[in-house]
Structures are given as C-alpha cells and as structure tokens.
Amino acid sequence: MNEIQDNNRVPVGEVSRLTEHLFRVEAGKLVSVLTGLFGIDHLQLAEDVVQEALVRAFRTWPYYGIPENPAAWITQTAKNLAYDLLRREKLFREKQGEIAISVEQRSSNSAGDDSPLFDTEIKDDRLRLIFACCHPLIAQESQTALALRTLCGFSAAEIAKAFLTTEAAIAKRLTRTRQKIRELRIPFEIPAGEEFAVRLNGVLQTLYLLFNEGYKASSGENLVREDLCCEAIRLATSLIEHPMANQPRTHALVALMLLDAARLPARVDAEGNILRLKEQERSKWSRPMIERGIIHLGQAAAGDELSEYHIQAGIAACHCLAENYQSTDWSRILALYDQWTSMNNSPVIALNRAVAIAAVNGPAAGIEAIEAIKSRGELGSYYLLYAVLGEFEAQLHNFEAASGHFRKAFQLTEVKTERVFLSKRVRAFRS
C-alpha cells in the first residue's frame, strides 16, 4: 500500500498551482450555481462549500494523485458537501433534486462550449451573480468587493490593494455586506429596465478591477495573471451581447482591456522579469487584439457619453498605435490625463499623470507634480510613488536619491518580479 501511495505522490507545489488555478477558474462558477439554488441570502454557505472542496483537493491530491478531470472532482466534492448540508438542514431538503441535476450538468459540461447566450436575461452564471451582488441598496465599493471575493476568488488582501485600504477593513466590509443581503432579503435575479442600467456601473467596475488584478497582480510570484485578464475580457464581451448593456461605456471598457492585454506578451522577459514600456519588443504585441480594441473604441464613440473607460482606452490606444517609444504622443496622453483628473481626484491617476508630465516637460516637472501628490498624504505606503520618483531622480543624475527611492519601493511591494526589478535599480544607482 505504501509503495502504491508513493508512486502516486504529486509534488505539493504542483498541486498548489493547480488548486490555485481551479480556485480562480471554477470556484466562481460553482458558487454561482449553489447560490442560485440556496438563494443569495445563503451566499456565505455556498462560498464555504466550494472553499472546503478546494481545501480537500489540496490535502488529498499530493498523496492519491491528481484526478484525470480535476474540475469534475472539485464539482463532485462540492456537490457531496451540499448534500451533507441538505441532510442537516430541513429548510433545504426539498431542493436536493434540483441541486443534484444542476451540479451534475455543470460537471458534465466541463469539456463543452460554455459560451453564454443572451435572450431576455443573462445566461452566464458568473455575470448573473455579479449583477446580484451589484444591488443598488449596497454601496458600490461593497458591491465590487463582494463580487471580487465571491466570483473571482480574490482574497481580502488582494481586494484591499485594489481599494488602497487594509485587509481588516475589507474583511469587515464583506461581513457587513453579506449580513445586509440577508437582512434586506435581496433576491438572486437579473434586473430589468431602469434597475439594470443602475447596476451596470457596478458590474463594469468589478470587471475593470478583475482585469487590473490580472494585468498587474498585487501579490504573488508573477506580475501578470493572464487567466484573470482573459476572464474579464470574456465576461465584458459577453455583456455587450445583452441589448441593454450594449452601451458606449461597455465598449470603452472592452477596448481598454483589449488594448492593454495586447501588450501582455512583451511585459516580461524570458525569466519573468519586468520590462518597462520603452524596453518592450513591440513586435510581440498582439496586432489582432489591438485591431479589435480600436474597433470597440470606435463603437464607444457613439453618442456624447464620456466615461473614465473612454479616457483610459484613449491613453492605451496612444501607446498601441505608436511605432516606437520615441514616437509616443505624450502631449495627447497628458491632455487625456488632464481630462481624467478633472473627473476623478484619485492620487493614483495623478501619479500616472506625473509620468506624462515628465515625458512632456522633463523629470523636474514630474517631481514637482509628485510632491503635490505626497502633500495629500494618501500614497505614503504605495510603492509606485517611490519607484517613479526614483526614475525621475535617475534621469536628473541624482543617483543617491534615486537609489533611496528604489529601496523604499522595494520594501513596500510583495510581488516577486517587482522586487527583483527594484533590487536591480537599487544596485545600479548605489553610490
């Protein structure tokens, strides 16, 4: 028996990577299915069942081997756990048959085409749950945090990074939001008419943050998590198929995602190290994705609506359409940032604007813009503030100051690839 188990042993690291992937890809689907059956007031129960199934995979697969169809194994385990809960809870007993049929269909469909179809409602389970989370009686930041946690598998720490707050604050927010859903008896349903339009902004914000976490991970081994980017693009593209969601701001968001994702293959080198924009090999950029992005940007121009997604997509288009770094239209980019900061007073947007200011007016002007941001006191623990300052000081040949800023940035980031990049910058300018 021991010999058989030893032959079946799988490295824990391999199992960890696989369960992490399944958590990102499958967990949201399963939570959506179980929430639809239990009711959104039992959202925490559905999350717990799926979480426990993944924990069991992590504990057993290293000893008994990875099953031939890991997603089906997770689904079956979650289904069995749901049955156990049903047997203990009288309230859910009458739904046993419905759950069995639904989860069985989900597991048997793992190899088929899961593309959502739209008729009078959204068929995609994950979009359905996003709309349910984005109820107008819930504050928008809480909507987004709940959707990112439930559907996308974000940890409280990752959500905290996206909102520039603490993990404890996000954990409390999630608990309060789930409690409010129960108290208000918010239904698990797809809205119609004006209510659909009201919730759309929350859905778009959630997909935007999902994409951003994939484009530049807030923690972990890798800078880029392409699976999150692809899922955000898939959901946003599917959303456009709904007549009421086929709006300029939705097209603008899809354009932004495509134009940014087109540059992913050139963002890191063969060893996974960060490459700055001017160091990237533009021949690796995906021309088909750029072309699709420009088409959606054109569709976003219909009417007179101007959203933040429009402006960001316009900035991304300036980068994608430049033949090389030197020919980048930085004046146009700065003008777009001026528009954006007039709409949103975010210090992160102001920091990116400082980069455009430096590109147009020189690094000293960029430092002056950053000093104005620092005086607001909102980015004191944001590593990119110091990384950008380091670059500006290096351009001015103030190498000791540059090294100090890069050292501070290194201390504040948790992403391995960023730490490697910043440690090299520290060494390059150390006196």
The tens digit of pLDDT for each residue in 363-387 reads 999 999 999 998 888 888 899 999 9
Residue 406 parent element (H or E): helix 399-412
Instruction: Judge contact between 7 and 152, C-beta under 8 A.
Output: no
What's the total number of domains in the chain?
Answer: 1
* Residue 278, number of CB atoms within 10 A of its CB: 9
Would residue 206 count as lying in a domain? no
Lowest mean pLDDT of 84-88, 125-129, 219-223, 298-302, name the range: 219-223
pLDDT digits 0-9 by tens, 138-190? 887 888 888 888 877 778 887 887 777 889 999 999 999 988 888 888 776 66
123 pLDDT above the threshold of 80: no
Higher per-residue confidence, 247 vs 122: 247
DSSP bridge partners of 122? 118
Cβ atoms of 257 and 229 within 8 Å: the answer is yes
Residue span of the structural domain in which 71 resides: 2-108
The CA R_g of the chain, rounded to the nearest whole Å, is 23
Residue 57 lies in a domain: yes
Residue 98 included in any domain: yes
User: Strand, coil or helix: what is 4?
Assistant: helix
Q: How far is CA 59 from the centre of its chain?
A: 27
| Angstrom distance (rounded) from CA 35 to CA 28 | 10
User: Is the model's pLDDT at 245 over the cut of 80?
Assistant: yes
Q: Contact, 244 vs 387, CB < 8 A?
A: no
Please check whether residue 256 is in contact with residue 312, taking contact to mean a CB–CB distance below 8 angstroms: yes
In a domain, residue 69? The reply is: yes
Answer whether residue 205 shows pLDDT above 70. Answer: yes
Assigned domain for 75 exists: yes
Distances (CA, A) of 101 to 44, 84, 98, 124, 293: 22, 16, 5, 17, 40
Q: Please report where in the chains the tokens 């960023």 appear, as a residue.
A: 418
Total Cβ atoms within 10 A of residue 133: 29
pTM for the complete prediction? 0.76
Contact 127, 239 (CB under 8 A): yes
Percentage of the chain exceeding pLDDT 70:
83
- SS3 (DSSP) at 180: helix
Q: How confident is the model at residue 121 (pLDDT cuts 50, 70, 90)?
A: very low
Report if residue 73 sits inside a domain. yes
* Residue at 45 is within a domain: yes
Residue 279 lies in a domain: no
**Residue 246, phi-psi category: left (phi > 0), alpha (psi -120 to 50), beta (remainder):** beta
Tens digit of pLDDT for each residue in 169-182? 999 999 999 888 88
